[in-house]
Amino acid sequence: MVKFNIPTKTGEELKYIEDAINSEKICGDGKYTLLDEEILEKKFDSKRIYLTTSGTTALEMACMLIDIKPGDEVIMPSFTFSSTATAVVLFGGVPVFVDIRKDTMNIDETKIEEAITDKTKAIMVVHYAGVGCDMEAIMDIAKRHNLRVIEDAAQVVNSLYHGQYLGTFGDVGCYSFHETKNYSMGEGGAVSINRDELIERAAIIREKGTNRTQFINGQVDKYTWVDKGSSYLPSDMLAAYLYPQLLIMDEMRDDRVHSFDLYYEKLSELKDSGYIDLPYVPLNCIHNGHMFYIKCKDLKERERLQVYLRERGIGSAFHYIPLHSCKAGLEFGRFHGEDINTTKESERLLRLPMYYRLNEADIDSVCVAIKDFYEGE
């Protein structure tokens, strides 16, 4: 049996969790929270990184930080997880969905500008499958139209675009450390605060709207409620679980990229024969091996292949149902322009097993099964 996903672990997690427990401070902002944030800030050259309770709450914190208000429009892809849109809707904002690129499954940067109105407040990009959006073009659009940019960087922790870590381009970058991600604390995330003027308010928002951080740092003689906010601090035990993974971030990325490369090599013959399409990684991107997917001819073929793999003990999964076609998407958002790629390409996509320390024998089993499926068609 080849599982679709195995949560990331190094084998050192219990040691650090026990240390966190023995420190007698297991709430937020403990020893390992601070260590994790320090590692990530130095690694990504971020102005400030705060751990959060999830990638979803990181997005919510970002929307609060850039002051999304009722009626504000935020341009985003429809091919994404619901959290991208719900973070906007939570504050009364309106998700405006635009089409994606066929090659990377990322937002089509050429469709953004025509979706801008006098109500547009921000662009929320989603970097899919470890590969960055065209941030050069997107940041240029944002600058010319005076728009904020939030990066949903849940899938690109330790990925780069033009030599810069993704999540550090926009005003705020939002990471995920869910058990399905490359680096995991079970449930968790982080925000990268990339503008100096947002750092102080970010500290207040994550501390339930209080200036507690300023008090701890000796900047004020008492702390009090000064702004809106929520509780975004994860337990230090979860931060301790994440810590040993961050110590070997590049090693873990290289392991997944190696698995990605093996898949690509072993399935290239089917691609060259026109049976399937394989992921595209632009030359200006260094990806993190977050996932490996293939694209079948259409939805029916994908469903048959998924059943075929399941019968042989191989886990696989499709991905998002485009948000603009969902009940909540129809109620809270709208699609601008024509849906050329979003629905069609999402229906073709099938994700294959991918996790840290996935062995080559299992990759062989998956690839042989896929080849057998198409040779029998």
What are the residue ranges of CATH 3.90.1150.10 in the chain? 249-375
Measured between alpha carbons, how far is 59 from 205 in angstroms, rounded to an integer? 13
pLDDT of residue 376 exceeding 90, the answer is no
Handedness of CA 191, 192, 194, 200 (dihedral sign): positive
Q: What strands lie across the sheet with 164-165, from one edge to the other?
A: 164-165, 160-161, 285-286
CA neighbor of 90 nearest in space, from 68, 118, 123, 65: 68
φ/ψ region of 357 (left if φ > 0, alpha if ψ in -120 to 50, else beta) reads left
What are the residue ranges of CATH 3.40.640.10 in the chain? 13-247
pLDDT of residue 256 exceeding 70, the answer is yes
CATH of domain 13-247: 3.40.640.10
62-69: average pLDDT: 98
Provide CB contacts within 8 A for 79, sequence distance 6+. Answer: 100, 105, 126, 128, 319, 320, 322, 323, 342, 345, 346
Residue 62: predicted pLDDT:
98
Terminal Cα-to-Cα distance of the chain (whole angstroms)? 24
335 in Cβ contact with 115 (< 8 Å): no
**Exposure of 356 by Cβ count < 10 A (0-12 exposed, 13-18 middle, 19+ buried)?**
buried
Q: What are phi and psi of 219, to 5 degrees?
A: -85, -25
The DSSP secondary structure of 207-247, one letter per residue, reads BTTB-HHHHHTTSSSS--B-S---B-PPPHHHHHHHHHHHH
Residue 271: predicted pLDDT:
98
Residue 215: predicted pLDDT:
65
Q: What kind of fold does domain 249-375 have according to CATH? A: Aspartate Aminotransferase, domain 1 (3.90.1150)
**Chain CA centroid to CA 237, Å:** 22
Query: Mean pLDDT in the chain?
Result: 96
The DSSP letter of residue 320 is P
312-330: average pLDDT: 97
Amino acid 22 reads: N
Q: What strands lie across the sheet with 172-176, from one edge to the other?
A: 48-52, 189-193, 172-176, 148-152, 120-126, 73-77, 94-98, 334-335
Quote the Cα angle for 123-124-126, to 5°.
140
5 in Cβ contact with 315 (< 8 Å): yes
As separate numbers, helices (DSSP H) first and strands (DSSP E) second, the chain gives 13, 13
CA neighbor of 202 nearest in space, from 330, 50, 83: 50
Residue 368 to residues 130, 269, 270, 353, 375: CA-CA distances in angstroms?
A: 25, 12, 11, 14, 10
202 in Cβ contact with 61 (< 8 Å): yes
297-317: average pLDDT: 98
The DSSP letter of residue 367 is H
Residue 214: predicted pLDDT:
74
87 bridge partner residues:
none
CA neighbor of 112 nearest in space, from 147, 154, 65, 64: 147
215-230: average pLDDT: 80
Percentage above 70 pLDDT, the chain = 99
Residue 220: predicted pLDDT:
72
pTM reported for the whole predicted model: 0.96
The DSSP letter of residue 169 is S
Q: How confident is the model at residue 242 (pLDDT cuts 50, 70, 90)?
A: very high
Q: Where are the beta strands (DSSP E) in 311-369?
A: 334-335, 349-352
